[in-house]
Amino acid sequence: MTTGTPTVPPLTDRVCSEPFRLFFPVGVLLGWIGVGHWLLYGVGLTESYSCFRHGLLQTQAFLMAFAVGFLWTALPRRIAAPLASGREIALALAALLLTGAALVVDAFVAAELGYLALFTLLLAFAVRRARAGTVQRRPPAAFVLLPLAALLGVSGALLILARLVLDAPPWTIALGALFIQQGVFLCLVMGIGALVLPLIGGTPPPPDLFSSPRETRVAWAFLALGVTVAASLVAESLGAVRGAPIVRGVAVALALAVGGGAYRLPRRTGLHRKLVWLAAWLAPAGLVASGLLPDFRVPALHVLFIGGFSLMAFGVATHVSLGHLGLADAALGRPKPVVVLAAGILLALLARVAADTSHTYFEHLASAALCWMIGTGVWLAWLAPRFVRR
């Protein structure tokens, strides 16, 4: 007998259909562990800190969780392919948690193995759907950068493992870290940005790959920019600490401004849209600044890490969440939690950049971490109940 009441799919089905409901909150928690490091050290609750651990936690755990949440939600819909299965979701979650937990206890070999497992799962996800012939539509041209991101991630982990396990020369770990901390996400930001920036900005989405000779040329152009980014990372590890980041910044700016349309402001209203647009410019700005001011390299790079990568991750996550959770009005407005998110991330950026010129370095780091955690915490507290609900 039907009651007329629509049946609510169980939470596991909703997570398979919309994996962001699980991976975005997990990403926030992993991000807190990564930046919380500086807060705990600043207030004297821990006696040591590790820059290497922090950098890898942010890029191999926090950002990867957001990438999986976005890709496994958006990709099956865009290419009309089957959604993620419960097994795929469980394995990806396990790989992410293994990577994060291993980094926390400085078990770097286990962490790299967890990270490699995650890329294997991402690859298997795409290959399984392509081989089963269940893909009914091609992705946009810029998605040629996704395999390149995976190649950089896998090579980066193997280079780090070569140093840790086989005692390879020190350049291997330095280049591996560059591939992971910058290469993977620069390729993802350029590739995904070309799809997301028009969608968020209110302009037509990009056509499918190979749908016309023009789109084939566009794909080659994106690939050339991705290869430029990868080559500049190798050049930087060989000593080109000024020129290489500048070239990389120009390549990223071209991909996002011309390829993604970031040369103009979003046409639609909605604070998160402006945040994504701002992140698209802060990413290349941080790279260029790190090349112009090599003595100020790490703080300048945080314009990329905090203002580019983390702001972009939360801006896009806001768009995906509001769209899927039926909060269309909020997507056109300025919801207070998004204002707090923006303020928290931008204050964190200012405090992180100011730290190196201050006499209170660790106090500045702790304040930056606190601002970032408050901003992202308010955002999570706003959306988390909706992630669980139907």
Binding mask 306-345 for ligand HEM (x = CB under 6 A): x--xx-----------------------------------
To the nearest whole angstrom, how small is the minimum distance from the Cβ of residue 60 to ligand HEM?
A: 10
To the nearest whole angstrom, how small is the minimum distance from the Cβ of residue 128 to ligand HEM?
A: 30
| 50 or 269: CB nearest ligand HEM | 50
| 16 or 317: CB nearest ligand HEM | 317
Q: 132, exposed or middle or buried, with CB in 10 Å at 0-12, 13-18, 19+? A: exposed
Confirm or reject binding of residue 60 to ligand HEM (CB under 6 A).
no
Confirm or reject binding of residue 38 to ligand HEM (CB under 6 A).
yes
Tokens 């560059």 correspond to 178
Binding mask 134-173 for ligand HEM (x = CB under 6 A): ----------------------------------------
DSSP assignment of 320-383 equals HHHHHTT-HHHHHS--HHHHHHHHHHHHHHHHHHHHTTSS-HHHHHHHHHHHHHHHHHHHHHHH
Binding mask 174-203 for ligand HEM (x = CB under 6 A): -------x----------------------
* CA–CA gap between residue 286 and residue 246 (Å, rounded): 9
To the nearest whole angstrom, how small is the minimum distance from the Cβ of residue 277 to ligand HEM?
A: 18
Confirm or reject binding of residue 73 to ligand HEM (CB under 6 A).
no
* CA–CA gap between residue 16 and residue 175 (Å, rounded): 36
Confirm or reject binding of residue 382 to ligand HEM (CB under 6 A).
no
**Side chain identity, residue 341:** L
To the nearest whole angstrom, how small is the minimum distance from the Cβ of residue 250 to ligand HEM?
A: 19
Selected binder of ligand HEM within 58, 60, 237, 318 (CB under 6 A): 58
End-to-end CA distance of the chain: 23
* CA–CA gap between residue 154 and residue 234 (Å, rounded): 15
Confirm or reject binding of residue 348 to ligand HEM (CB under 6 A).
yes
CA dihedral 250, 256, 259, 261 (to 10 degrees): -130
* CA–CA gap between residue 41 and residue 319 (Å, rounded): 34
| 8 or 43: CB nearest ligand HEM | 43
Q: Which is nearest to 27 in space by CA: 55, 69, 79, 56?
A: 69
Q: Which is nearest to 347 in space by CA: 333, 364, 362?
A: 364
Residue 55 · residue 31 · CB < 8 Å: no
Confirm or reject binding of residue 368 to ligand HEM (CB under 6 A).
yes
To the nearest whole angstrom, how small is the minimum distance from the Cβ of residue 191 to ligand HEM?
A: 17
Note the residues at the interface with ligand HEM (CB under 6 A): 35, 38, 51, 54-55, 58-59, 63, 181, 298, 301-302, 305-306, 309-310, 348, 352, 365, 368-369, 372
